[in-house]
Structure 1
Amino acid sequence: MVVEWMLGSWLLLLDWLIRLVALFWIPARTTPGAARSWLLLVGFVPLLGLPLYLAFGHPWLSRQRLQRQAEASQVIREEQALQDALRWQPRADTATAEIVPLVECQGDFMPVHGNAVDLLTGYDDALATLIADIDQAEERVHLLYYLMFDDAVGEAIVEALQRAAARGVHCRVLLDAVGAKRGLRAYRKRLLARQIDVRAMLPGGLRWRRSGRMDLRNHRKIAVIDNRVGYVGSQNLAAAGFVPGHPNRELVARVRGPAVAHLEAVFASDWYIETGQRLDVLVDVPVSVDDVPTQLLPSGPAYPFSNARDAVNALVHLARRRLVLVTPYFVPDEATLSALRIAALSGVEVQLILSASNNQRLTAWAQEAYYDELLRCGVRIALYEPHFLHAKHLSVDDDIALLGSINLDIRSFALNAEIGLLCYDSALVQRLRTIEADYLAQARPVQLEDWRRRPAWRRSREGIARLADALM
């Protein structure tokens, strides 16, 4: 009995010691919103909560990776200083003139003119176009993707790379170690046998300390072929139905012009961060007569600031008439939620388009917890029904569009390496408006009165899921 009493006393002491340590340790190293979630978890289950926080609570990267990102950023800025003729100057006293310096200061890339941007909405057509461009490659093919599956699409991409390598084209492939695990396992040896350089980004296992926190991921989707054409968007290298019951609908931008060199620079930066090898970037890119001004927005934990979050929030605040946001995962932080609320209450028409189906149940429950507040402020919410809407883009008034891999959730803002393409062109925004109108024509609007009739158990579920927003 004495031994049991002493053991119980020690466990109780340890239990409260963990709580006290967490109370002083976590808020000093984590944002207030995330700290509340972690302290709640530690408070309920201390022996489990603290080890989980130590493993996943702070989005740390190794010093080597942070240093390499800083070096890559410096090179990008120095190279652009020699190409001032390509810089695009926005008109003064416009929303564009305000967002451009923020994006350049945080993400390194200046806005450039002379680009052509094609918006590809057909899933199979976008892949077929990418493969056709790979088949025309003469010098290099660089692919950087979060996810690659061992399915018909993965096989088609591998065969296109093999054909290119047989012609003497230098092919490099960067795949996220977790998202593309199936593709790496199925195709790595086969590609290496054809002298195609394949690397896994942010590997785990015994090498995790040279990478960073285990759940940090590279979520970018980029393809660059020669100095001729680049791709950026939401689509992975997998069949549309790679998640059973959730066939994807995507949006991809096919880019020509100086922006291709900037996409190549992002690839070269990630290659250097992962391998330590420096690649030459082909900067002599032909200017397109379409002359769409663009600016790249890379973001991720290797940067000093939350680039994606800051840019999205700035764009929301800069909207004066209409703002449309499309995302599959909507779990905003307080700053983004506040920006949307202020915009709607200020008279901006704010339209949020989400997917009616969702392949991540906890995220779906958490995002539903925000509907009531947003609807009360005048934000319109529509749920797209035919497919899993995996596209990620937003449009501001009539002259700014942002598209790429960035979700409107805390994971994209703080944990993932992401890429966005800003386009400052009214004709392109109008094309994007047409795509948004097609979504809305096939979407179910959420009405505040109907939403409030949902059962009490669903409200409780949403509230509990929202508490875990910083843990997703």
Structure 2
Amino acid sequence: MTDFTWSLSTWLLVVDWVVRLASLLWIPARTNPAAARSWLLLIAFVPLLGLPLYLLFGHPWLSRERIRRQALASQVIREQQAPLRHLRWTPGGDGADAEMVPLVEQLGDFMPTHGNAIELLDDYDASLRALIDDIDRARQRVHLLYYLMFDDAVGDAIAAALKRAAARGVQCRLLLDAVGAKRGLRRYAAELRLAGVQVHDLLPGGLRWRRSGRMDLRNHRKVAVIDNDAAYVGSQNLATAEFVPGFPNRELVARVRGPAVAHLEAVFASDWFIETGERLEVAPTAPVQHADVAAQLLPSGPAYPFANARDTVNALIHLAKRRLVLVTPYFVPDDATLSALRIAALSGVETQLILSASNNQRLTAWAQESYFEELLASGVKIALYRPRFLHAKHLSVDDGMALVGSINLDIRSFALNAEIGLLCYDRGVVARMREIEASYLADADSVSLAAWKDRPAWRRSREGFARLMDFLM
């Protein structure tokens, strides 16, 4: 018995050190440095638990077929834009917009277009009513792509609108994330299919996840396209504001008309193709009379060769000259983004970060607090919005550029999720966004450096632990 115990202990010790050494050679070559350090630390403490967790969650891999289909979709998008040069918008001069346009086009495939009308909708219920009204006016097609659809009053209303549209002969398609919209799929998928609506789940889990990619990769986009007339993009899901008890949401959605509608349709068609293998036709959209907003679409996600969202956000931060405002519910930046914010503030740019005072992700809330002292010391202003859970995701640069969509300023949005952003090169859109930002600040508490330094030591420890865990990706 003693010999067996001794040999088992020796065997476990050997395995323990083999795991540690193999991880030291393997993980840094496949993971970014910050995440690699966190994973190696975890494996050093608990090798037999840390390694399986890394194999499941440590590397944002997708199946080769999904990457191939994304590359093909990108190629088709670029080819179909070639004959539409009359819709291209060209920046005047050599300002910041002239630097952003080629970068975003290289990263996300879409050229900037003129002749768009962009309406920023800040009222939660009103934006949903506008979407349902547009669905009820549809005559050709309704395409909805959402991360979350809940089985609540809003889910009921959207499902009813889709069934009414399908009964009129409108082609209706619904793409929902398999995890985020699990409750909506369970509640509505069967009845919608019976009504003639095509419903598909994105990145399905269970036994099918191996054909998709890493288990926690998600499609976080929120896009609606109605006919060739109107589209919606932003942070709002298909659920009531109170779908998370105790955290009623405040959102920002852009209602789009003009050539950018076809680009949002192309994003839907790309996701439909990646999921089903079926290619949808996308018709160009004419410019809107009496409106001339220049807009450019940025899809991002792990199927692209570069970190589209992160690179675009960092470029916008670096290009700010006077004022920069960033709004996000989840703020866990990588080193590049943190450095960009610090440099902007130290360079004299008025840099304002607006976060939510309440947060439905406790670990993320603690992690983001770990960055406050460094940012405040650099001159970044931090405000915590009180009345609701501020789930909106947008930023504005000086007086001429604004980005709105589903992109959070965290590692998950930058590296793991499929996201969507709409970049507007327009003073009117920025002015409207400034009004919305001002309404946030009117109901927010400013964080001071002196007060923040006085927080208890146990909070510092909690923040450091949460920051470390959030890099385990």
Q: Match of 2:110?
A: 109
Q: Match of 2:218?
A: 217
Judge conservation of contact 2:120–2:252 (CA < 8 Å) in 1.
Answer: yes
Deviations 1:142-168 (A, max 9, x none): 000000000000000000000000100
- Higher deviation after alignment, 206-215 or 376-385: 206-215
Deviation at 1:285, TM superposition (A): 3.2
Deviation at 1:207, TM superposition (A): 1.2
**Residue identity opposite 1:8 in structure 2:** S
Judge conservation of contact 2:384–2:444 (CA < 8 Å) in 1.
Answer: yes
Q: Match of 1:13?
A: 14
Judge conservation of contact 2:354–2:385 (CA < 8 Å) in 1.
Answer: yes
Give the % identical residues.
74
> What is the distance in 1 between the residues matched to 2:111 and 2:341?
27
> What is the distance in 2 between the residues matched to 1:471 and 1:243?
25
> What is the distance in 2 between the residues matched to 1:200 and 1:336?
32
- Higher deviation after alignment, 278-287 or 263-272: 278-287
Deviation at 1:471, TM superposition (A): 2.3
Task: Report the 3-state secondary structure (helix = DSSP H, G, I; strand = E; otherwise coil) of the residue aligned with 1:468.
Answer: helix
Task: Tell me whether 1:306 sits opposite 2:307 in the alignment.
Answer: yes
Q: Match of 1:384?
A: 385
> What is the distance in 2 between the residues matched to 1:471 and 1:383?
26
Deviation at 1:286, TM superposition (A): 4.4
Alpha-carbon spacing, 1:325–1:284, altered in 2? closer, same or farther (3 Å): closer
**Residue identity opposite 2:457 in structure 1:** A
Q: Match of 2:194?
A: 193
Task: Report the 3-state secondary structure (helix = DSSP H, G, I; strand = E; otherwise coil) of the residue aligned with 1:51.
Answer: helix
Q: Match of 1:92?
A: 93
Task: Tell me whether 1:76 sits opposite 2:77 in the alignment.
Answer: yes
Judge conservation of contact 2:258–2:285 (CA < 8 Å) in 1.
Answer: no
Q: What is the correspondence of 1:248-267 to structure 2 with a 5 Å cutoff?
A: 248-267=249-268
Q: Match of 1:277?
A: 278
Judge conservation of contact 2:225–2:232 (CA < 8 Å) in 1.
Answer: yes
> What is the distance in 2 between the residues matched to 1:64 and 1:470?
27
Judge conservation of contact 2:114–2:287 (CA < 8 Å) in 1.
Answer: no
Judge conservation of contact 2:89–2:112 (CA < 8 Å) in 1.
Answer: yes
**Residue identity opposite 1:321 in structure 2:** R
Deviation at 1:12, TM superposition (A): 1.0
Q: What is the correspondence of 1:17-416 to structure 2 with a 5 Å cutoff?
A: 17-416=18-417
Deviations 1:266-314 (A, max 9, x none): 0000000000000011214343421100000000000000000000000
**Residue identity opposite 2:232 in structure 1:** Y
Q: How many residues align?
A: 472
> What is the distance in 2 between the residues matched to 1:60 and 1:285?
38
Deviation at 1:469, TM superposition (A): 2.3
Judge conservation of contact 2:373–2:453 (CA < 8 Å) in 1.
Answer: yes
> What is the distance in 2 between the residues matched to 1:323 and 1:469?
26
Deviations 1:215-264 (A, max 9, x none): 00000000000000000000000000001100000000000000000000
**Residue identity opposite 1:406 in structure 2:** I
> What is the distance in 1 between the residues matched to 2:53 and 2:209?
16
> What is the distance in 1 between the residues matched to 2:184 and 2:472?
27
> What is the distance in 2 between the residues matched to 1:423 and 1:286?
15
Judge conservation of contact 1:261–1:285 (CA < 8 Å) in 2.
Answer: no
Deviations 1:373-393 (A, max 9, x none): 000000000000000000000
> What is the distance in 2 between the residues matched to 1:43 and 1:171?
52
> What is the distance in 2 between the residues matched to 1:331 and 1:92?
35
Task: Report the 3-state secondary structure (helix = DSSP H, G, I; strand = E; otherwise coil) of the residue aligned with 2:28.
Answer: coil
> What is the distance in 1 between the residues matched to 2:168 and 2:287?
23
> What is the distance in 2 between the residues matched to 1:68 and 1:93?
36
> What is the distance in 2 between the residues matched to 1:23 and 1:289?
60
Q: Match of 1:441?
A: 442
> What is the distance in 1 between the residues matched to 2:264 and 2:257?
11
Deviation at 1:55, TM superposition (A): 0.9
Deviations 1:13-62 (A, max 9, x none): 11111000000000000110110111111111100100111111110100
Deviations 1:44-85 (A, max 9, x none): 110010011111111010010000000000010001001000
**Residue identity opposite 2:310 in structure 1:** R
Judge conservation of contact 2:261–2:285 (CA < 8 Å) in 1.
Answer: no
Deviations 1:416-451 (A, max 9, x none): 000000000001100000000000000000001111
TM-score by length of 1: 0.99
**Structure 1 spans left out of the alignment, 5+ residues:** none
Judge conservation of contact 1:228–1:286 (CA < 8 Å) in 2.
Answer: no
> What is the distance in 2 between the residues matched to 1:99 and 1:20?
43
Q: CA RMSD in A?
A: 0.7
TM-score by length of 2: 0.99
**Residue identity opposite 2:453 in structure 1:** R
Task: Report the 3-state secondary structure (helix = DSSP H, G, I; strand = E; otherwise coil) of the residue aligned with 2:387.
Answer: coil
Task: Report the 3-state secondary structure (helix = DSSP H, G, I; strand = E; otherwise coil) of the residue aligned with 2:392.
Answer: coil
Deviation at 1:9, TM superposition (A): 1.0
> What is the distance in 1 between the residues matched to 2:64 and 2:55?
18
Task: Show structure 1 runs of 4+ deviating over 6 A.
Answer: none
Task: Report the 3-state secondary structure (helix = DSSP H, G, I; strand = E; otherwise coil) of the residue aligned with 1:24.
Answer: helix
**Residue identity opposite 1:69 in structure 2:** Q
> What is the distance in 1 between the residues matched to 2:345 and 2:382?
12
> What is the distance in 2 between the residues matched to 1:173 and 1:471?
32
Task: Report the 3-state secondary structure (helix = DSSP H, G, I; strand = E; otherwise coil) of the residue aligned with 1:218.
Answer: coil
